[in-house]
C-alpha cells in the first residue's frame, strides 16, 4: 500500500532556488541536471514537486503543443526524477502520482535511485556507463580493451597531442557538423547549451579537452561538466578523421590519466546504442541502469497521436 507523503506541486516562479539547490547539492543521488540554473537554461519550461520543506524534489520539465501540456527530457539532460537526502523505494511512485493531471503525456527518465514496477508507467531499463577514477592510471589502463590500447598508440604515433581548454565554439562547431539533421530544434538546443556553458564556466564547473593532429587541426574535442564528484562527458565534437586516427580514444585516455587517483567518476551519459556502449565499456567503464517512464493520459480520441 502506498504511504502518504506531503508532496506539493509548485511553479518555477514559486520555487526557492536556495533551498532547491541545497537539496540537490546534498542529495545522496544528486546530479548536475537538477540544479535550477541547469533547468532554467536547458528546459523550455519547468516546475517542481517538493516533499515537505525541500527534503526531496522532482523537476518537471514540460512544454505545450496544440494546447496539450506534456513532460519531456530536455537536450543534454539524460535523467531526472526524485532527488534528496531521503531516498527509498516507496518515494518514487507517490511522486509520479503527484504529477498534475493536466500533464497529459509523460515521457521522462528517472535516476538510478528511482526504481518502479508500475505497469501503467511502462518502465523501461536504460543503460549508462560510469568509471571510477580513484585507482591509479596504471590500474585503470590495464582494463582498457586491446582495441582501445591499439587506437591510443596509433594516435600518439601519428603525432596527435592533447589540447587543454580549446575554445568551446570550436567544440560546438564540430558537434553541429556531426548532426545528421540540424534543424530549428537543434539550433535552439545549441543556443541553450551556450547559455548553460557560460553559467557553469563562471561557477568553475567546466573543462574542455581536444586532440590535435600533427598539423594542428582539432580532430576530437569534448566539454566536460563537473559536479557531485562526477565528470560528465557532455558535448562531443569530432572531425571525420577522428574515426581513423584514434583521436577520440586518446582524448578519453588523457582525461583518465590526468584525473586518476581522484575521488571522481567519469560519467559517459549512456548509451543504449551498441557501438557507443562498446566504446565506453572499452575503457573499463561499468554499466549503471536507470529507468524511463511513459504515461499516456491523453483522451481516448487523441491517444493514437502518441502510440
Residue 67 reports pLDDT greater than 50: yes
Per-residue pLDDT at 182: 64
Q: Are residues 31 and 99 in the same domain?
A: yes
Q: What is the CATH number of the domain that holds 199?
A: 3.40.630.30
Q: Are residues 115 and 206 in the same domain?
A: no
Q: Which residue has the higher pLDDT, 108 or 269?
A: 108
Query: Per residue in 109-130, pLDDT tens?
Result: 999 999 898 888 999 999 999 9
Question: How many domains does the chain fold into?
Answer: 2
Quick one: pLDDT band at residue 1, thresholds 50, 70, 90?
Answer: very low
Residue 157 lies in a domain: yes
Q: Are residues 39 and 95 in the same domain?
A: yes
Residue 268 lies in a domain: no
Calpha distance 2→155 (Å, rounded): 56
Region 28-53: mean pLDDT is 97
Calpha distance 11→70 (Å, rounded): 15
Calpha distance 214→217 (Å, rounded): 8
SS3 content of the chain, % helix, strand, coil (to 5): 35, 30, 35
Quick one: pLDDT band at residue 15, thresholds 50, 70, 90?
Answer: very high
C-alpha cell at position 227: 559536479
Residue 12 lies in a domain: yes
What is the separation of C-alpha 240 from the centre of its chain, rounded to a whole number of angstroms?
A: 24
Q: Are residues 199 and 258 in the same domain?
A: yes
Q: Find the domain containing 199 and state its range.
A: 134-263
Query: Average model confidence (pLDDT) for the chain?
Result: 93
Single out the residue of 262, 269, 285, 282 nearest to residue 232, CA to CA: 269
Q: Where are the beta strands (DSSP E) in 177-285?
A: 206-212, 218-227, 230-238, 265-267
- Least confident interval from 88-92, 137-141, 274-278: 88-92
Residue 151 lies in a domain: yes
The answer to whether the beta carbons of residues 223 and 208 sit under 8 Å apart is: yes
Quick one: pLDDT band at residue 93, thresholds 50, 70, 90?
Answer: very high
pTM score: 0.93
Q: Are residues 159 and 256 in the same domain?
A: yes
Residue 229 reports pLDDT greater than 60: yes
Region 48-70: mean pLDDT is 96
Residue 52 lies in a domain: yes
Count CA atoms closer than 13 A to 137's CA, side-chain side: 9
Helical H runs in 101-222? 137-141, 146-157, 168-178, 184-202
Query: Per residue in 264-307, pLDDT tens?
Result: 999 998 778 888 999 999 999 999 999 999 999 887 555 555 54
Residue 96 lies in a domain: yes
Q: Are residues 222 and 106 in the same domain?
A: no
Calpha distance 114→196 (Å, rounded): 26
Neighbours of 170 (CB within 10 A): 15
Q: Are residues 156 and 253 in the same domain?
A: yes
Q: Are residues 139 and 246 in the same domain?
A: yes
Single out the residue of 65, 23, 18 nearest to residue 44, CA to CA: 65
Residue with cell 562526477: 230
Q: Are residues 115 and 145 in the same domain?
A: no
Q: Are residues 301 and 211 in the same domain?
A: no
Residue 235 reports pLDDT greater than 60: yes
DSSP SS3 for 76: coil
Q: Are residues 142 and 255 in the same domain?
A: yes
The answer to whether the beta carbons of residues 38 and 203 sit under 8 Å apart is: no
Residue 188 lies in a domain: yes
Which long-range contacts link 36-39 to residues 24+ away (Cβ below 8 Å)?
A: 37/196, 37/199, 37/200, 38/77, 38/196, 39/74, 39/77
Residue 66 lies in a domain: yes
Phi, psi of 178 (to 5 degrees): -80, -20
Query: Per residue in 171-219, pLDDT tens?
Result: 999 999 988 666 666 899 999 999 999 999 999 999 999 999 999 999 9
Q: Are residues 105 and 146 in the same domain?
A: no
Q: What is the CATH number of the domain that holds 22?
A: 3.40.630
Amino acid at each position: 500500500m502506498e504511504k502518504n507523503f506531503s508532496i506539493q506541486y509548485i511553479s518555477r516562479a514559486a520555487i526557492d532556488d536556495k533551498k532547491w539547490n541545497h537539496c540537490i547539492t546534498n542529495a545522496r543521488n544528486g546530479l548536475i541536471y537538477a540544479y535550477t540554473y541547469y533547468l532554467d537554461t536547458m528546459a523550455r519550461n519547468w516546475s517542481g514537486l517538493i516533499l515537505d520543506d525541500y527534503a526531496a524534489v522532482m523537476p518537471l520539465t514540460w512544454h505545450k503543443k496544440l494546447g496539450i501540456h506534456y513532460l519531456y527530457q530536455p537536450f543534454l539532460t539524460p535523467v531526472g526524477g526524485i532527488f534528496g537526502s531521503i531516498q527509498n523505494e516507496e518515494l518514487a511512485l507517490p511522486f509520479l502520482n503527484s504529477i498534475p493531471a493536466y500533464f497529459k503525456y509523460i515521457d521522462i527518465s528517472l535516476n538510478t535511485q528511482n526504481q518502479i514496477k508500475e505497469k501503467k508507467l511502462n518502465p523501461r531499463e536504460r543503460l549508462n556507463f560510469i568509471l571510477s577514477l580513484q585507482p591509479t592510471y596504471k590500474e585503470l589502463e590495464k582494463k582498457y580493451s586491446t582495441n582501445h590500447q591499439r587506437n591510443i598508440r596509433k594516435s600518439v604515433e601519428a603525432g596527435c597531442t592533447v589540447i587543454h581548454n580549446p575554445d568551446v565554439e570550436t567544440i560546438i562547431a564540430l558537434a553541429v557538423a556531426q548532426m545528421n539533421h540540424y534543424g530549428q530544434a537543434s539550433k535552439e538546443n545549441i543556443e541553450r547549451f551556450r547559455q548553460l556553458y557560460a553559467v557553469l564556466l563562471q561557477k568553475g564547473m567546466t573543462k574542455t579537452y581536444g586532440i590535435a593532429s600533427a598539423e594542428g587541426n582539432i580532430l576530437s574535442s569534448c566539454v566536460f561538466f563537473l559536479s557531485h564528484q562526477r565528470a560528465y562527458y557532455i558535448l562531443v565534437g569530432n572531425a571525420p578523421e577522428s574515426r581513423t586516427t584514434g583521436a577520440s580514444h586518446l582524448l578519453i585516455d588523457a582525461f583518465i590519466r590526468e584525473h586518476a587517483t581522484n575521488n571522481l567518476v567519469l560519467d559517459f551519459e549512456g548509451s543504449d546504442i551498441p557501438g557507443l556502449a562498446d566504446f565506453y565499456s572499452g575503457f573499463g567503464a561499468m554499466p549503471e541502469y536507470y529507468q524511463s517512464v511513459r504515461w499516456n493520459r491523453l483522451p481516448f480520441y487523441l491517444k493514437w497521436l502518441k502510440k
